[in-house]
Amino acid sequence: MAKRVGMEVGIAAAEAVGMCNIDMAAVYPITPQSHIAEHLSEIVADGRIDAEFVTVESEHTSISCVSGASATGARVYTATSSQGLLYMHEILPIVSAMRLPVVMGNANRAISGPINIWNDHSDIMPQRDAGWIVLFADNGQEVVDLTIQSFKIAEHKEVMLPICLNMDGFQLTHTVELIEFPDQKKVDKFLPPRKPLATLHPDNPVSMGTLGMPEIYAEARKSQDVALINSKQYILQIWDEWEKMFGRRYKPVETYRADDAEILMLTMGSMGETAELAVDQLREKGMSVGLVKLRLWRPFPFEELKAAVKNAKLLIVTDRAVSFGGSGGPVYIEVKAGLYHEKERPLIYNYIIGLGGRDVPVPCFVEMFEAAAQSAEKGIVKDYEYYGVRG
Amino acid sequence: MKKKKWPETWRTINPGCMVFDAGNARTYHTGSWKAERPEWDDSKCIKCGICYIFCPEGCITQDENGFFRADLNYCKGCGICAHECWPGAITMVEEG
């Protein structure tokens, strides 16, 4: 039987990895990911799972180490955050280009400077074009479910791509939540051992990570892009399978009271749950508002997003990162570009919120909805705005 | 039949550009890159084999008389052998 327990989400993430029959993990601790690193190493050291936990000297090495192990056919896990993810940056596109299944948890944290250990999305955004599948979790239950699903998605023979599962640092990783852990036997059935296309073994030689001359490089890049785009259909299949086995449904774009809403707000990550409360309050006041929560950042779910916003008059995109000198936050830029060719499209506003752990409570979301609605009524066209910045 | 050098389209590329046939580097003749080739003066050669050891391409072999030669199909003309040859038996000669 599935059991429900109160548990810190970072610990729960490590427990979920412990249920996935991994062969090895290499995790370099960094706040706020450290509890994942510590607890996973405890699970291995206590002999609860038969896996290798490699203590590495940096994130550059942890990602290199799990990639090498993945090439031998192992099921692997790593986790990081902020500067650690930036330190992995050099290796990230190589992992995806080599089509190596790697599952990585990222405890989202602001990047320096100023030095800041608290939550926003400025660590994952610079990794946007690394060719990874990128998922966002809203809460602890989703962290557990998506972690288990990620191994199956990454290792699917038509996917073979690394996955980064984003969970907001502190807001999620250090919060104790009520989490339902699936039954181990059912997880084993859902997630059988990995069947790699090829493994590094002297008996059956294969070259991985080869040189690509100008005559082949563009074709290689195109085939990788197509692989990432095509991965969506297998992600959807696996989410269907998960729903059948465990009862919880996952979608690339989640919606909340959005069907008839004239004004929609788009969030990614744990702030979606706070925004839901704001939607409830405004609905009670008779305002036609709803929420669109982006779960799948890469491959970007254009079709699902278009369907979710097609009846809205105003779409407020929230961003937890800055694209310096650009036309707005990274999510806003993507959403706006994705809707450009639509004949019917909403007016789009962009609020940059919650940088470096700045709290964004329910009244702030209410205020954002109301301020944006007033501007939209006057027909004001505007680009991004830092919400709540003094001065 | 001429051996196909590149996959025809992006669709025929192996996932991750993996190469499943071992030893395929042999079919790619990097010797065409060179601007200079090494030439040995066997009267100066003491058969120490330092050229063989330092050749980064691994294209230098010893013949039946104990002297050394580069396989020009693979020699890139880097000149490391000539640089390392302390008796001065190797000269880099311009291709022409």
Task: Please report which confidence band the pLDDT of residue B1 belongs to, taking 50, 70 and 90 as the band edges.
Answer: very low
Q: Does the pLDDT of residue A23 top 70, yes or no?
A: yes
Q: What's the pLDDT at B4? A: 55
- Mean pLDDT, rounded, for A161-184: 98
pLDDT tens digits for range A232-283: 999 999 999 999 999 999 999 999 999 999 999 999 999 999 999 999 999 9
Domain count, chain B: 1
* pLDDT surpasses 70 at A67: yes
Q: Which of B5, B17, B28, B29 to mutate to test the interface with A (most CBs of A within 10 A)?
A: B17
Q: Do B17 and A222 touch (CB under 8 A)?
A: no
Looking at the complex, report in whole angstroms how far the Cα of residue B45 sits from the nearest Cα belonging to chain A.
Answer: 36
B13-53 tens-digit pLDDT: 999 999 998 888 888 899 999 999 999 999 999 999 999 99
Domains for chain A: give ranges and CATH numbers: 3-246 (3.40.50.970), 253-386 (3.40.50.920)
* Residue B3: per-residue pLDDT: 55
In this model, does residue A389 exceed pLDDT 50? yes
C-beta atoms of B20 and A198 within 8 A: yes
**Phi and psi torsions of A52, nearest 5°:** -100, 130
Question: Hey, is the C-beta of A380 within 8 angstroms of any chain B C-beta?
Answer: no
Query: Stretch A190-206: mean pLDDT, rounded?
Result: 95
**Which has more pLDDT, A381 or A335?**
A335
Task: Name the average pLDDT for chain A.
Answer: 97
Q: Is B11 on the interface with A (CB under 8 A)?
A: yes
Interface touch B22/A212, C-beta < 8 Å: no
Please report residues of B whose CB lies closer than 8 A to that of A160.
Answer: 15-16
Asked whether residue B37 is domain-assigned, the answer is yes
Query: Residue A383: what pLDDT?
Result: 85
The answer to the question of residue B50 being in a domain is yes
| Cβ–Cβ contact A219 with B under 8 A | yes
Preferred mutation among A95, A161, A210, A222 to probe B, highest tally of B CBs within 10 A: A210
A98, A215, A222: residue with CB nearest B16: A98
pLDDT band with cut points at 50, 70 and 90 for residue A314: very high
What is the per-residue pLDDT for B10? 95
Interchain pair A223, B11: CB under 8 A: yes
DSSP single-letter state for residue B20? -
Angstrom distance (rounded) from CA B87 to CA A143: 67
pLDDT at B2 over 90: no
What are the φ and ψ backbone dihedral angles of B32, each rounded to 5 degrees? -70, -10
Position A1 scores a pLDDT of: 61
> In which domain, by residue range, is B80 found?
33-94
User: A197: nearest CA in chain B?
Assistant: B15
Interface touch B17/A216, C-beta < 8 Å: yes
| Average pLDDT of the segment spanning A330-351 | 96
- B18 — contact with chain A (CB < 8 Å)? yes
Specify if B89 maps to a domain: yes
Chain B nearest-CA residue for A206: B20
Does position A368 have pLDDT exceeding 90, yes or no?
A: yes
The yes-or-no verdict on residue A33 having pLDDT over 60 is yes
Structural contact between residues A315 and A264, judged by C-beta atoms closer than 8 angstroms = yes
Residue B40 lies in a domain: yes
In a domain, B9, yes or no: no
Q: In the numeric block, which tokens belong to residue A336?
A: 């706006």
Mean pLDDT of A195-212: 93
**Please, what is the angle between helix A271-284 and helix A362-377, to 10°?**
60
Q: Which chain A residue's Cα is nearest to B24?
A: A207
Give every CB contact of residue B14 below 8 A, 6+ residues apart in sequence.
Answer: B20
On chain B, the residues whose CB falls within 8 A of the CB of A216 are 6-7, 13, 17
Could you tell me if residue B5 is inside a domain? no
Whole-number pLDDT of residue A91: 98
Interval A304-329 mean pLDDT: 97
C-alpha span between A63 and A69 (Å, rounded): 10
* B83 within some domain: yes
Min distance B86 CA to chain A CA atoms (Å): 34
- The answer to whether B1 faces chain A, any CB pair under 8 Å, is no
**DSSP-based three-state secondary structure for A346:** coil
Shortest alpha-carbon distance between residue A73 and chain B (Å): 14
ipTM for the whole complex: 0.85
**Helix (H) and strand (E) counts in chain B:** 2, 4
Q: Is residue B72 part of a domain?
A: yes
B29 contacts in chain A (CB < 8 Å): none
| Phi/psi-derived region of residue A33, left when phi > 0, alpha when psi is between -120 and 50, beta in every other case | alpha
Domain CATH number, residue B43: 3.30.70.20
